[in-house]
Amino acid sequence: MRAELEIPVLHRLAIIYLTLPVAVWLVGWFEWWFGIPAVAALAAGLWKAMLGSWRGRLSPVALAAAMIALGYVMLTAAGGALDLDNWDWHKHRAILTDLGRFSWPVHLPDYLAEYTSAVESPARPLLRYYLGYYMVPGLAAKLLGLGSLSWTVPLWTWFGVSLIALLFIQNLTAKRMGIVVAGAAVVTLFFFGGLDLLWTRALYGWYWPGQEYEKVSQDWFLPINYRSFIHSFSYAPQHFIPAALCGLLLAQGRRQVGFLAVSGVILAASFFWSPFAAIGLMPLATAVLVENGVRPFLRWQNLLLAAPLAGLLLSYMSSGESTARRGWIWELYEWGQIVRWMPLFYLMEFLTLAVLLWLLQPRIRRDVFFIAAVAALLIVPTYHWGYDKSEIMRHASIPALTVLCWYGVKAVVEGGARNGWRIALTGLVAATLFISVVGPLRDRLMHTANEIRDGGIQMFRYDQMLHSTLINLGRSIHGNYSAYDVSFPLESLLRGADDESQAYEYEREELVIQSIYDVYLTHDMLAYVRDACSKEDAAAEFFLRVYPVNTDDIDPDDRQFGFERLTFGFSPLWKGAGGSCVALIPLPGYDIDRIVTGQNGKWEGEHNFE
C-alpha cells in the first residue's frame, strides 16, 4: 500500500515546481494573517505527497535530456543570451521587472493615465495576470536586483523544461533506452507540430524563413491552426510549461493513489500559471475521474485546499474587465468555410497520428485517457477567445497534444510488432512524427541563425527594461493586465489595502524638456510624450546621454565619452489612447549630473539635475 502512495521523485519535483509560485504569491501579496496560514495549509496538504525516498541517479540519458532542454531554452528569448525578441517578450520582461521594482502586490503606475486610459480613478490599478511563470524569478529580482533576472529567468525556465523532458522519457528509460533514442524522443516532443510541413506546402508552396511567399487564395481558408510546441514555448512559456507538465503528470499518475489525493491542488495551481492550460486539462482530468471513480479523489487536500485556492485565483483573475474578443466558431465564420476547412485542419494537426495509433494498438481503443485527448483536440477549436481569437485554441490544446505525442513516441520506441502490417503501421507513426518535427525544427534553426547574423549574441539587460506601463498602452488591452476595481473579499486580503498614499506615488512630476516630444521626469524614469502622434513619429529613434556625478559609475564601454549612451527605437514606443505616443525609459540608479536627449536631426534638449 505504501508503494501505491509514494509518488516518483520526478513527479514530486514537478508538483513543487508548479505550486512554489503559488506559495510565493500568497506570502508576498497578502496580509500576513492570511498568507502565512494559507501557505502552511498548502505545505501540509502536499507534505504526504512529498514523503518517500529522494535518492536518485543522474543517468547519462537524463543528463542528455537536460542538455537538450538547455539548448531548447537558449533558442528562445527565455535564454537571455540571444536577443530573440517578439512582442510577447516585451510583456514578459515588463512583468518580471515590475515584480522586482515595485512593492507587492504590484500596482501599475498610472501617472500617464490621461494618455493611456479613459479611467478616471486616483487609484493605481492592480497588476492582474496569471503569474505562475514570473513569481519565482520576480522574487529573486526583488531580493537580488533586476540584474539577477538575466540568470534566474533562464534557470527557472530550464528547470521546468527539463522536468518536461525527463517526464516524457521516464517510462521509456526504464527499458534501458540509449542516449540517441532518448534524445530523439525529447527533440520530437520539443518541436512537435502536426503535419506543418505538408500544411505549409499545400497553402504557401515551398519557402524559407525570410523569403517572400504568396498565400494561396481560398474562400474556405480559416485562420486557425495548432501551433508547434517550439512556437508556443518561444512566445508563451507561461502557457506551454504548465500545460505540458500537467498533461504528462496526469498521463503517468492517473492510477497512482498518492498523486490522485493531491491532483485537485495541482490543477488549481495550474490555473495560476495559465487559465487556458487549466481549461485544456479538464477533459484529461475527467478521463482520470472516469477511470478511477470518485473515491480516490475524496481526500482532505482536494476537498479543503483545491476549491478555496481555485476560488481565490478566480477572484484575482476576474478582477477588472477584459476587452478580448470571443465567440463560437460558427458565430465568427461562415458554415461553408467551417465545413470545408475543419476536416483538413483536424487531419493535418492531429487526426492522422491518432488514427494510426488507433489502428496500431488495439488496447488504445479502450483507453479513456487517449480518447479524452483526441476529443479535446476536436472540441477546443470550436470556441475562440483572445486578441486574435485564438488564445484558447492554441494554449488549451497543448495538454492533449503533449499526451498524443507521448503515445506516439511510446508506440515507436517500444515497438513489439511481429507482423508486416503492424511493422508498416509503426513505420507510418514514426514518419508522421518525423514530418511533424522537421518543419518547426528547420524554421527555428534558420530563424536563430538569422538573428545571430543580424544582431549577434548579447545578454539582454533587465536593469534597462522599460516600465510595465507598456502593458497598459499596448494594443488597447489596458483592462486585460490591470484592474482598478478589485473584487471583495480579495481587496481586503491584499497587503496595504488601506494605504491610500500608494495611489499617488507615481504621479507625473515635472516637464523638463519641451519639444516635438515633451520629456517628463517621473520618479526614476523619463517619459517622452507626443499628443498628436503620426506614423512617422511612432517610428522615431531617440538618443539619451546620461552624465553621472561620478564618472566611475559609467559603463566601462562608455567611459571614453564621459556619459552613458542609451538609444532606443520603436520597441519601447507604444501608441496610447487619443492618438498619443508615450515612451518610458528608466534612468540608471546612480547620481546624475545632467542628461541630453532627442532625435538625430530633429530636436535635442538638456536637463540639469540639482
DSSP conformation letters of 244-306? HHHHHHHHHHTT-HHHHTTHHHHHHHHHHH-HHHHHHHHHHHHHHHHHH-SGGG-SHIIIIII
CA R_g for the chain: 26
Q: Is there a contact between 462 and 146 (Cβ–Cβ < 8 Å)?
A: yes
Q: Is there a contact between 518 and 526 (Cβ–Cβ < 8 Å)?
A: no
Indicate whether 133 belongs to any domain.
Answer: yes
Helix axes 149-173, 398-414, angle to 10 degrees: 40
pLDDT of residue 186: 92
Per residue, what are the HEC states of 492-559?
HHECCCCCHHHHHCCCCCEEEECCCCEEEEECCEEEEEECCCCHHHHCCCEEEEEEECCHHHCCHHHC
pLDDT of residue 478: 52
What is the span of the domain harbouring residue 549?
Answer: 508-608
How far, CA to CA in Å, does 365 sit from each of 212, 317, 371, 423, 425? 44, 38, 8, 19, 16
Distance CA 318, CA 377 (A): 26
Indicate whether 474 belongs to any domain.
Answer: no
The segments of the chain whose pLDDT lies below 70 read: 1-5, 81-87, 109-124, 173-177, 196-223, 320-325, 386-392, 416-418, 451, 453-459, 464-480, 497-509, 522-524, 533, 535-540, 568-580, 582, 584
Distance CA 373, CA 380 (A): 11
Distance separating the N- and C-terminal Cα atoms of the chain = 73
Say if residue 515 is in the same domain as residue 431.
no
Helix axes 352-360, 420-455, angle to 10 degrees: 150
Last residue of a domain, one of 432, 453, 474: 453
What pTM does this model have? 0.81
pLDDT of residue 522: 66
Is 238 strand, coil or helix?
A: helix
Q: Residue 606 corresponds to which amino acid?
A: E
Indicate whether 476 belongs to any domain.
Answer: no
pLDDT of residue 417: 61
Last residue of a domain, one of 425, 453, 481: 453
Indicate whether 13 belongs to any domain.
Answer: yes
Say if residue 304 is in the same domain as residue 372.
yes
Indicate whether 323 belongs to any domain.
Answer: yes
- 220: which residues sit within 8 A by CB, 6+ positions away? 336, 337, 340, 341
Name the helix (H) or strand (E) containing 470.
Answer: helix 469-473
Is 126 strand, coil or helix?
A: strand
Cis peptide before 586 (omega within 30 of 0): no
Q: Which residue has the cell 488597447?
A: 476
Distance CA 325, CA 503 (A): 31
Q: Is there a contact between 595 and 604 (Cβ–Cβ < 8 Å)?
A: no
Say if residue 70 is in the same domain as residue 171.
yes
Helix axes 420-455, 398-414, angle to 10 degrees: 120
pLDDT of residue 80: 73
Supply 579's cell numbers.
Answer: 492618438
pLDDT of residue 540: 67
Distance CA 361, CA 271 (A): 34
Distance CA 167, CA 69 (A): 12
Say if residue 285 is in the same domain as residue 411.
yes
Distance CA 608, CA 25 (A): 41
Say if residue 432 is in the same domain as residue 520.
no
User: How many other CB atoms sit within 10 Å of the CB of residue 450?
Assistant: 12
pLDDT of residue 147: 85
Last residue of a domain, one of 416, 436, 453: 453
Say if residue 409 is in the same domain as residue 558.
no
- Helix runs in 192-260, H state only: 196-204, 229-235, 237-253, 257-260
Say if residue 249 is in the same domain as residue 389.
yes
Distance CA 546, CA 595 (A): 5
The closest alpha carbon to 306, from 41, 579, 7, belongs to: 41
Say if residue 547 is in the same domain as residue 438.
no
- 416: which residues sit within 8 A by CB, 6+ positions away? none
- 605: which residues sit within 8 A by CB, 6+ positions away? 512, 513, 514, 515, 519, 596, 597, 598
Residues, the chain: 610
Dump pLDDT digits (tens) for 51-99. Answer: 877 777 778 888 999 999 999 998 888 887 665 556 678 788 888 988 9
Phi first, then psi: what are they for 117, rounded to 5°? -155, 155
Supply 85's cell numbers.
Answer: 525578441
Q: Is there a contact between 443 and 194 (Cβ–Cβ < 8 Å)?
A: no
Q: What percent of the residues of the chain are helix, what percent strand, and what percent coil, each to the nearest 5?
A: 60, 10, 30
Distance CA 599, CA 589 (A): 24
Say if residue 448 is in the same domain as residue 546.
no
Name the helix (H) or strand (E) containing 195.
Answer: none
pLDDT of residue 197: 65
Number of domains observed in the structure of the chain: 2
The closest alpha carbon to 280, from 271, 292, 289, 291, belongs to: 271
Say if residue 448 is in the same domain as residue 300.
yes
Say if residue 445 is in the same domain as residue 534.
no
pLDDT of residue 396: 87
Supply 541's cell numbers.
Answer: 529613434
User: How many other CB atoms sit within 10 Å of the CB of residue 15?
Assistant: 23
Indicate whether 470 belongs to any domain.
Answer: no
Dump pLDDT digits (tens) for 416-448. Answer: 666 777 788 888 888 888 888 888 888 778 777
**Domain harbouring 599, CATH code:** 2.60.40
Say if residue 515 is in the same domain as residue 416.
no
Q: Is there a contact between 486 and 126 (Cβ–Cβ < 8 Å)?
A: yes
